[in-house]
A and B are shown apart, each in its own frame.
Chain A
Amino acid sequence: MNTRTSIQGDVGVVTLSGALSFELHQTLKQATHPMLENPAIKVICVELAEVSAMDSSSLGMLLLLREKALAQGKSVELRKPSPIVLRILEVVQFGRLFDIT
């Protein structure tokens, strides 16, 4: 599981890869903590193009991230999910909670 981060204007991008499961929480926390603290960042974008699978724990982590972001007045976007990941996001109706692009 590899995680990269970058900042583009007021958007913080976290790029995840591989099969996501609950081990993700450490790396996701390390990657997003500075973004949550940074007032210049308005949107946290989770790049999913290289993610091959997600389990329910990793879905839960996205929800916790969203909750923290909302508390800071930021939003969370999920970007470029693969077909199978998009299907999972649809099943749990994350479209209601996140911008999925």
Chain B
Amino acid sequence: MRLLAVDDDAATRLLIRRVLERDGWEVILAEDGPQALALFRTDPPDLVVTDYQMPGMDGVELCRRLVEASEGRFVPLVMLTSGQDSDLLPRSLEAGALEFLNKPVRPEELRSRMRALASLARMHNALAEAQAENEHEITVVKHLLERLTAPGLRTLPPGFVMETLQTRRINGDACAYLRGPRGIHFGLVCDATGHGLVAGVSTLPVLETFNAMAPRDLPLESVYNEVNEKLIRLLPPERFACLLLLRLDPEEGALRILNAGMPDLVHLGPEGEILGRIPSGNLPAGITRHSGTTRVAELRVRPGERIFAHSDGLADLLREEGIRELLLPSRPSVPAGDLPRRLRQSVEGSLLNAEQHDDISWSLWEVPEPHPILPPPPPRNPGRIPTQLGFSVAFEADPRHHDVRDLVPNILGLLGFQGVPRPQVELLGILASEALNNAVDHGLLRLDSRLKGDGFQVWEAARRAAIQSHAGGTVRCEIRLAYSTEGDHRLDHLAVEVSDGGPGFDWRSIRDTREGTEPHGRGLLLLSTLAQDLEFNESGNTLRFRIPCQGPPPE
């Protein structure tokens, strides 16, 4: 280690050098404060010994400057004193000195003091390094959490607030939101046990499971069971996660809640009055596979009512009374929608007086008005050629009675007679079959195409079973021959619409499958690449596309 000795007296400087070099130190010397400061910057030492009485800058002033120059690095400073100045001790300590040595210097004392300080400095540096590494790892986990939650939270509809206020470390809280099929809202508030990295890492499988299962509208029980299973498999026995799962169907006015170890969910009226509470009815996830029946509560909710959930970090900070006060019916002058703002103010206010020890999460949803089931598609491309002329053919069939794909060749034959060129007829056959397969297999029968990975006989058997047990519902295909209204009214394009009676799917989550080798997931890739203007309706049970073609004028 390197030591800087500062003294205007050459004999003392040389004594220090001789004694400490024999003890393994590298010793550098300075005659006064300014020289010491310059050496400190160019050749940073691990320890500094300075005389107090020096012409110009004294030892106290030098200590003050050295502390500034060390920029947070820990460098023990030792003051050499000879006088009986009773004021010197407090001033030196205040300036940053850590130790005192009496002059004249006694070699034995110097050696042992410096050894003690060297080991202190080493420990301090090791600790600082470990802390820097820890902070880096926490940053990485925070980034992972963010990646898993941010895309969903960006789509929170108006009236929905979900927030997690993390501490500098991580404490295992997370909120997630996803929009499911038919405008159903899914929410998750999660609080994994423990602090730091392990808590952060524990929430990752919870979020991943939620993200994978919510958009498919699987029952909350299944999501919970899957999370439970994963956490039991992955986490040590003393680790687990509390979670609250929400599924709000505004159409039905139904809210389903699975509360596993979280504080009560509160159901609020439009004026802020408390209509009910849903306490935890399940064990936190990750504890046991044998906790009995999974309990899901169901509430009837109306537009304008609100649902409030939070993690225990909020309860710790504001106490039960604080939360109750927040939820009190607002005075007429305070609009009910102000709750998120009041919440934030209240949390920030409380944090002024107390350090934040735990993550704080809350979720507040205002029940929206139900959506019309199939909103009209927005007007598109107003500048394109108006194509009012034309005619369409359509069929509608129930897959229990007809294999709809067998109907496609008949339609293609008809189009051939109308003068649609052969390449476009071929392409139409491929794309219409693809869309109809999707409509039947996924739209109506709700089959999971990952079954194809187990071999197509598994898939075919599952498909046959699904058709037999299917309650009914049809798919419809309409093909319109659109002629230009200009010039000689030539055929301009084929417009195809395929719809099914199923609940639809989340077409926003379609992923590019070109890079992979899984034996499924390419149907929509074909449609989106080979067709033009592919679009879905909001709920995802109707798709439309065009095939441009140059054909003859109508007969």
Q: Give the B-binding residues of A (Cβ under 8 A).
A: 19, 21-22, 25-26, 29, 52-57, 59-61, 63-64, 66-67, 83-84, 87-88, 91-93, 97
Contact = CB atoms under 8 A, between A and B. Distances in A.
Given A60-B522, A83-B423, 14 more contacts: A22-B456, A22-B459, A25-B460, A53-B429, A53-B430, A55-B434, A57-B452, A60-B520, A61-B456, A63-B519, A64-B452, A91-B525, A91-B526, A92-B522
Contacts, number: 79
Contact of A55 (B426, B433, B518): B433
A92 B516 CA distance: 10
A83 B526 CA distance: 15
Nearest to B429: A53
B518 A63 contact: yes
Closest 8 CB pairs of A and B: A60-B519, A25-B456, A56-B523, A56-B522, A63-B519, A91-B529, A93-B514, A53-B430
Contacts of A67: 517, 519
A42 B426 CA distance: 34
Given A56-B434, A56-B526, A57-B437, A64 B456 contact: yes
A64 B526 contact: no
B437 to A, nearest CB: 6
Contacts of B455: 25, 64
Contacts of A88: 430, 526, 530
B503 to A, nearest CB: 22
Interface string B401-439: 000010000000000000000010011011001100100
Contacts of A64: 452, 455-456, 519
Contacts of A87: 530
B517 to A, nearest CB: 6
A54 B525 contact: no
B457 interface: yes
Nearest to A56: B523
B307 to A, nearest CB: 41
A29 B456 CA distance: 10
A19 B456 contact: no
A60 to B, nearest CB: 3
Nearest to B426: A84
A52 B457 CA distance: 24
